Amino acid sequence: MACAVLCFSRMHTFSGYDPIDERALILNAKPSDPLLYAMRLQWDEYLSALPAAGHHPARMMFATKDPSQFRGALAECMAAWFLVEKLGLRVVALAPSKRPDPDLVAYFENEPVFVEVKSLVVPPHASASHVTDRIVQRIDDALPQLSGVAVIFLAMRLPRSLEEERQTIVAALRRALGPQVSAVLAVEERIEVTPAGFFRIDHHALAILNTSAAFPMPRGIFDGLRQVKVEGGHRRGSTGPSKEGDCIMPRAALLRRSASERISGGSP
């Protein structure tokens, strides 16, 4: 049984600093600039986690001059890295297709969890209602790739820390989630200063489990992370299957075949 997870990655740094604004400097940073160099090393780790290194679209987009495309590519790299390094999953990439397939497939105990990646930027002084509306909007953008068997990695930069925005995020997801989404994984990237004065990139995460999901998350996949349960499906006009026997099943089977037949770099 496959499941759908929404993964949120958040670009959060101190003093309102946004690394995307200095991406060219970061990509060419030297040890003499410790902040930018620390970010370059982390970005290198993100990039190395992408499967199908020579063919993955995010790798090509990394060279784009468009900040929104670069942010999306960075989010996808971070998603692959987090799933592998922090959750211990095996991650593969679907080969290019005209279908609205998700970006990545992660395997937990040989069970496929499909991953769609999105990014989100919210102005530093945005209100809670604005943050909620933007989260709902990005979930809407991702739903065509989900259909019960996908993970969305949404790269976010919110006004406050992940813990401080926790209630706002949960409220937005309670409003937006339908039965085709099994969980949301919110991941916050932070630049921190060690007691010795060195810079490092840290990651905070919150797993939000949808108790109304047609495909529940497998037990243990989020062990070690903070977890919250949310009953989704409160949104008016929400569509999608309400039980496993509805239209979610053919899509699940289709994506399983897609994962086994079209994964770059080999079959699971």
What are the pLDDT digits (tens) for 65-91?
788 888 888 888 888 899 999 999 988
Average pLDDT over residues 160-186: 85
Angle made by CA atoms 60, 48, 257, in degrees to the nearest 5: 75
DSSP tag of 131: H
Report the Cα 84 to chain-centroid distance in Å: 13
Phi and psi, residue 87, nearest 5° = -105, -10
Q: Quick one: what percent of the chain has pLDDT higher than 70? A: 69
Bridge-based pairing state of the strands 104-108 and 111-121: antiparallel
b/e map of 123-143 (b: 16 or more CB within 10 Å)?
eeebeeeebbbbbbebbeebb
Banded model confidence at residue 3, pLDDT cuts 50, 70, 90: low
3-state SS assignment for residue 94: strand
Average pLDDT over residues 128-150: 78
Bridge-based pairing state of the strands 183-193 and 111-121: unpaired
Predicted pLDDT of residue 82:
92
In this structure, of 55-69, 114-128, 158-172, the range with the lowest mean pLDDT score is 55-69
CA distance 238 to 36: 44
Task: Please report, for residues 76, 189, 193, 216, the alpha-carbon distance to residue 14 in angstroms, rounded to integers and kept in the order given.
Answer: 22, 11, 10, 36
Predicted pLDDT of residue 105:
84
Crossing angle, helix 34-49 and helix 67-85, to 10 degrees? 70
How many structural domains compose the chain? 1
Bridge-based pairing state of the strands 104-108 and 90-94: antiparallel
The answer, yes or no, to whether residue 241 has pLDDT greater than 50, is no
Banded model confidence at residue 57, pLDDT cuts 50, 70, 90: low
Find the domain containing 56 and state its range: 3-264
3-state SS assignment for residue 120: strand
What would the pLDDT profile of 184-212 be if each residue is shown by its tens digit? Answer: 888 888 888 888 778 888 888 888 888 88
Answer yes or no: are the C-beta atoms of 138 and 118 closer than 8 Å.
yes
